[in-house]
Chain A
Amino acid sequence: MTEVRHRGAKDGEPPLEQQPSEDKGSDSELKAEKDAVSDNESKVDSGVPEVPVSADDTPEVLNKALSGLSSRWKNWWVRGILTLAMISFFFIIIYLGPMVLMMIVLCVQIKCFQEIITIGYSVYHSYDLPWFRTLSWYFLLCVNYFFYGETVTDYFFTLVQREEPLRILSKYHRFISFALYLTGFCMFVLSLVKKHYRLQFYMFGWTHVTLLIVVTQSHLIIHNLFEGMIWFIVPISCVICNDIMAYMFGFFFGRTPLIKLSPKKTWEGFIGGLFSTIVFGIMLSYVMAGVRYFVCPVEFNNDSNSFQVDCEPSDLFQLQDYTLPGVLESVTGWTTVRLYPFQIHSIALSSFASIVGPFGGFFASGFKRAFKIKDFANTIPGHGGIMDRFDCQYLMATFVNVYIASFIRGPNPSKVIQQLLALRPDQQLYIFHSLKAHLTEKGLLPAVEAAA
């Protein structure tokens, strides 16, 4: 748990220091931390005294199993085991299907929100503020309702049209969401208490920025998921691979520091991570692009009332021959190579994950440095909170979503139909005739129909 040293006098003289988490346990470590990094990819230190790890939150079973090892190795074993546990968990939920994935994304989002808001409460000592915890969760609910409503309306279009109450909810969705949000806003204004204005405004701002970061990105992840599970799995795996590879390369070859913010990151780790992630991304996409389960857009089947992933794979996932450029030809002796086009896209995704993704990690490090916390929370032993693990993922999710929208798919057909049916009759006729002319031009409609 992130600890907060309570302020003595109420006139706010002592600075807002926060003690590090229970793992550290003494003030001397606070000083060591000022030089040491407080992010999670701790590479080999250069003379910084070792920080003994308290295994307070490690489960008993692990403690017993590792009791014989020295504390540093124990820390690494704990981290390693938890890493394997998390990766296996990831595989299990992929196996369980889209519904479970969505649930998990929702839970992760709620946990990240809770972690960040808790930090805010600790920073501002706002536990005693009236209403505020209620309001933060209320805003989270509102924004989630808004986003899920938009998603549901898009993807479950037929189901929504069938059920009358759902139809009304979806028709006036924006208005209802806005009304809910406004209620929260008015409650906030009414809850302003005389001596606490600034605190309350800070918490209001904090909540909104957190919502902006956490909730919007988790919905972009779900949009990516609906595009095809491969668009969910490959980016997340690339980021994880980059984390691990950069750590390994830094561990073995690390020499030149990368950025003052995280002194344990090195250029060797950065570049080594880049190349290995690209290779990993290419191989992973090759493996996954052949499996329909991953490649097809997730659709809701109205008859069976369940999700299905069955389709004809799009061009992106069909093997194609590419002619190698002259340079590579001479080196490898091949003229052409058979690839999925998706593998080319995966190079772009991996590059982003390796080059820009770490900035998400630096941002989180800077945040933890600014508010003098070691980890966001202590949910995962050895790793910190959920937010610690997901900090690089947020930029990645947004990038993938923007990438898909710009380079891969066009608009969603069911959404277009929905909009079409909402137009006025004369507008519908106008579009009908324009579309007919367009299709006839392209030869998709026999010319005899055009005469009518």
Chain B
Amino acid sequence: MTELRKRGGGGGDPDTADNISDKEAESDDRLGLPGDGEGEGDVDSKTDAPDVPVSTADTDNTPECLNKALKGLPPRKRRHSGHTALQQRGRAARWKNYWIRGLLSICMISGFFLIIYMGPITLIFVVMCVQIKCFHEIITIGYRVYRSYELPWFRTLSWYFLICVNYFFYGETVADYFGALVRREVPLQFLARYHRFISFTLYLAGFCMFVLSLVKKHYRLQFYMFAWTHVTLLIVVTQSHLVIQNLFEGMIWFIVPISIVICNDIMAYLFGFFFGRTPLIKLSPKKTWEGFIGGFFPTVVFGFLLAYLLSQFQYFVCPVEFNSDTNRFMVECEPSDLFVLQEYTLPAAVQSTLRWKTVTLYPFQIHSIFLSSFASIIGPFGGFFASGFKRAFKIKDFANTIPGHGGIMDRFDCQYLMATFTHVYIGSFVRGPNPSKVLQQLLMLQPEQQLGIFHTLHSHLQERGLLPPAAVQAE
């Protein structure tokens, strides 16, 4: 449950909604957290001052079985007789919390492996569910902040906009990747040709409904919720579609970035737990420089090894393609140069230390170094952003979906930047445009334009020696 201190005053007066100034933080004294609001707002809780009792609120959703299993866990350090009973109970609760978090982490990671095994369609489906849940979590926070439950239409409109934007993006993806299927079915062809117009019309209908739903005393609330919905859509939906496009590039481009971010989270947590001393940023007082740097190096190594492991399998490496004959997805291909072992000559400095002249690597492993660096250095800013957001709206977690961890959004906040970066990285450094899409566009041009392009391409290929010069007479 997101704990939000209820403000007094009626819900009808739109102006009081803005009175949530941050000055109210002084009098905010919830859950026994330190009064200056700097309590545990982010999920990577490192060890802090030992006397802070752990909030028991988030064990409310722990499943019964876990509770039973962990009931017997004895409080540790009983031999330190100097500590009070409260501290002992606090410590017991804290160890219980750690166990729950650990168990759930392992559960989530196993779930991740399971859905990878089940294939691309399941992955797309899961990404969509995650997106809908994240959207729901953020919108619910908006409703709470603005107390807009009673506003007419608004919940309907938010979900309607979500459907519109998803329709737009999925339509663009489907048209790209399922080109052959679309050309076969006539209704799909019509939808694909006028896709942008249809999406725009749907969006406009929502926009007009919004304007018509403006109610006299609630204008400001309604505009806020409108903006909140749009910003949420911008963040959540666009990134989830970038994730799906990365997926179509090859499942390795989906698995490696996500695993790297997870590894960085865990490694930074562990390093901070054991060696943490210097605070990193005022926003998340439990993050430390030792955790940050300690997370960087293991993540790079982990990414390197994982890339090596996964590059060998066609299942992960090949672009996901839709086979129109069998009507299913297939991942079979000739691996591209990126996934073929190559020899690299080591620079002289490394040569003298290791006494190897060359090393055989997949080029993808070099790329994975960049991905890992991004995940460790810039990725945490996504987490800080989410911490700041939770701090700003005085919530502890986005929701309480995952016991011990918070909501789905809490787990995915660092992933969003990573997904966008991977997509931009692929677009800039790895792949060119999609050939079937280019062909599709070619066939839509005017005949004279097609002829012009034909001749340009013809001379270009001749120049590069790909076409025998005498074979085709230039017109």
Q: Which of B24, B214, B378, B454 is close to A366, meaning CB atoms less than 8 Å apart?
A: B214
Given contacts A367-B223, A370-B223, A445-B475, contact A178 B23 (CB under 8 A): no
**Any A CB within 8 A of the CB of B457:** yes
A212 touches B207 (CB 8 A): no
Q: Which of A261, A430, A452 is close to B211, meaning CB atoms less than 8 Å apart?
A: A261
Given contacts A15-B13, A175-B428, A402-B197, contact A359 B438 (CB under 8 A): no
**Any A CB within 8 A of the CB of B270:** no
B441 touches A198 (CB 8 A): no
CA distance A416 to B450 in the complex (A): 10
Q: Which of B243-251, B354-362, B383-391 contacts A (4 or more CB under 8 A)?
A: B383-391
**Any A CB within 8 A of the CB of B136:** no
Q: Which of A105-113, A130-138, A202-210, A336-344 contacts B (4 or more CB under 8 A)?
A: A202-210
B231 touches A369 (CB 8 A): no
Q: Which of B18, B220, B391, B457 is close to A420, meaning CB atoms less than 8 Å apart?
A: B457
Closest Cβ–Cβ distance, residue B329 to chain A (whole Å): 21
Q: Most chain-B CB neighbours within 10 Å: which of A201, A398, A429?
A: A201
Q: Which of A25-33, A78-86, A434-442 contacts B (4 or more CB under 8 A)?
A: A434-442
Q: Which of B24, B208, B227, B444 is close to A410, meaning CB atoms less than 8 Å apart?
A: B444
What is the chain A residue whose CB lies nearest that of B212? A259
Closest Cβ–Cβ distance, residue A228 to chain B (whole Å): 15
CA distance A405 to B453 in the complex (A): 20
A16 touches B22 (CB 8 A): no
A186 touches B19 (CB 8 A): no
Q: Most chain-B CB neighbours within 10 Å: which of A171, A209, A366, A430?
A: A366
Closest Cβ–Cβ distance, residue B396 to chain A (whole Å): 14
Contacts of A421 in B (CB 8 A): 460
- Chain B 429-455, CB-CB to A under 8 Å as 1, else 0, gives 100110100110111111101111110
A402 touches B432 (CB 8 A): no
Q: Most chain-B CB neighbours within 10 Å: which of A205, A413, A423?
A: A413
**Any B CB within 8 A of the CB of A363:** yes
Of residues 272 through 290 on chain B, the ones whose CB sits less than 8 Å from some CB of chain A are: 281-283
Of residues 415 through 429 on chain A, the ones whose CB sits less than 8 Å from some CB of chain B are: 416-417, 419-425, 427-429
Of residues 419 through 434 on chain B, the ones whose CB sits less than 8 Å from some CB of chain A are: 420-421, 424-425, 427-429, 432-433
Closest Cβ–Cβ distance, residue A429 to chain B (whole Å): 6
B433 touches A419 (CB 8 A): yes
Q: Which of B152-160, B344-352, B402-410, B466-474 contacts A (4 or more CB under 8 A)?
A: B466-474
Of residues 101 through 124 on chain A, the ones whose CB sits less than 8 Å from some CB of chain B are: 123-124
**Any A CB within 8 A of the CB of B219:** yes
A10 touches B21 (CB 8 A): yes
What is the chain B residue whose CB lies nearest that of A197? B392
CA distance A395 to B473 in the complex (A): 50
Contacts of B60 in A (CB 8 A): none
Contacts of B125 in A (CB 8 A): none
Q: Which of B219, B281, B442, B467 is close to A435, meaning CB atoms less than 8 Å apart?
A: B442
Closest Cβ–Cβ distance, residue A318 to chain B (whole Å): 15
What is the chain A residue whose CB lies nearest that of B394? A198
A359 touches B424 (CB 8 A): no
CA distance A444 to B207 in the complex (A): 46
Closest Cβ–Cβ distance, residue B226 to chain A (whole Å): 9
- Chain A 356-369, CB-CB to B under 8 Å as 1, else 0, gives 10010011001101
B283 touches A196 (CB 8 A): no
Of residues 180 through 225 on chain A, the ones whose CB sits less than 8 Å from some CB of chain B are: 182, 185-186, 188-190, 192, 194-201, 205-206, 208-209, 212
**Any A CB within 8 A of the CB of B15:** yes
B457 touches A428 (CB 8 A): yes
What is the chain B residue whose CB lies nearest that of A403? B197
- Chain B 178-201, CB-CB to A under 8 Å as 1, else 0, gives 000000000000000110110010
List the count of A-B residue pairs having beta carbons below 8 Å apart.
223
Contacts of B447 in A (CB 8 A): 439, 442, 444
Contacts of A356 in B (CB 8 A): 204, 208
Contacts of B433 in A (CB 8 A): 419, 422-423
CA distance A336 to B389 in the complex (A): 65
**Any A CB within 8 A of the CB of B117:** no
Given contacts A206-B227, A370-B219, contact A174 B428 (CB under 8 A): yes
Contacts of B378 in A (CB 8 A): 182, 186
CA distance A432 to B454 in the complex (A): 7
**Any A CB within 8 A of the CB of B77:** no
A370 touches B220 (CB 8 A): yes
Contacts of A439 in B (CB 8 A): 447, 450-451, 454
CA distance A402 to B200 in the complex (A): 8
B223 touches A366 (CB 8 A): yes
CA distance A199 to B377 in the complex (A): 26
- Chain B 249-283, CB-CB to A under 8 Å as 1, else 0, gives 00000000000000000000000000000000111
**Any B CB within 8 A of the CB of A283:** no
B211 touches A366 (CB 8 A): yes
**Any A CB within 8 A of the CB of B95:** no
**Any A CB within 8 A of the CB of B393:** yes
- Chain B 51-88, CB-CB to A under 8 Å as 1, else 0, gives 00000000000000000000000000000000000000
**Any A CB within 8 A of the CB of B147:** no
Q: Which of A123, A416, A445, A452 is close to B453, meaning CB atoms less than 8 Å apart?
A: A416
**Any B CB within 8 A of the CB of A162:** no
**Any B CB within 8 A of the CB of A147:** no
Contacts of A449 in B (CB 8 A): 472-473, 475
A189 touches B466 (CB 8 A): no
Q: Which of B15, B457, B467 is close to A431, meaning CB atoms less than 8 Å apart?
A: B457
Closest Cβ–Cβ distance, residue B153 to chain A (whole Å): 14
**Any B CB within 8 A of the CB of A390:** no
Contacts of B194 in A (CB 8 A): 406
Closest Cβ–Cβ distance, residue A373 to chain B (whole Å): 12
Q: Which of A192, A417, A424, A452 is close to B388, meaning CB atoms less than 8 Å apart?
A: A192
**Any A CB within 8 A of the CB of B20:** yes
**Any A CB within 8 A of the CB of B234:** yes
Q: Which of A189, A205, A206 is close to B385, meaning CB atoms less than 8 Å apart?
A: A189
**Any B CB within 8 A of the CB of A260:** yes
CA distance A407 to B460 in the complex (A): 32
**Any B CB within 8 A of the CB of A47:** no
CA distance A224 to B220 in the complex (A): 33
Q: Which of A174, A407, A417 is close to B456, meaning CB atoms less than 8 Å apart?
A: A417
A427 touches B435 (CB 8 A): yes
Contacts of A60 in B (CB 8 A): none
Q: Which of B22, B207, B208, B473 is close to A197, meaning CB atoms less than 8 Å apart?
A: B22
Contacts of B13 in A (CB 8 A): 15
B427 touches A416 (CB 8 A): no
Contacts of B342 in A (CB 8 A): none
CA distance A434 to B214 in the complex (A): 54
CA distance A124 to B227 in the complex (A): 15
**Any A CB within 8 A of the CB of B458:** yes
CA distance A206 to B226 in the complex (A): 11
What is the chain B residue whose CB lies nearest that of A434? B439
**Any A CB within 8 A of the CB of B169:** no
**Any A CB within 8 A of the CB of B25:** yes
Given contacts A15-B13, A402-B200, contact A366 B435 (CB under 8 A): no
CA distance A188 to B143 in the complex (A): 25
B445 touches A425 (CB 8 A): no
A423 touches B432 (CB 8 A): yes
CA distance A402 to B196 in the complex (A): 6
Q: Which of B18, B421, B427, B461 is close to A432, meaning CB atoms less than 8 Å apart?
A: B461
Q: Which residues of B contact A (CB under 8 A)?
A: 13-16, 18-25, 37-38, 193-194, 196-197, 200, 204, 207-208, 210-212, 214, 216, 219-220, 222-223, 227-228, 230-231, 234, 281-283, 378, 381, 384-385, 388-389, 391-393, 417, 420-421, 424-425, 427-429, 432-433, 435, 438-439, 441-447, 449-454, 456-458, 460-461, 464, 466-467, 471-473, 475
5 contacts between A and B (CB under 8 A): A11-B24, A197-B388, A200-B392, A209-B230, A405-B197
Q: Considering the complex of A and B, which 6 residue pairs feature the smallest CB-CB distances, nearest first?
A: A15-B15, A370-B219, A197-B392, A175-B428, A406-B197, A370-B220
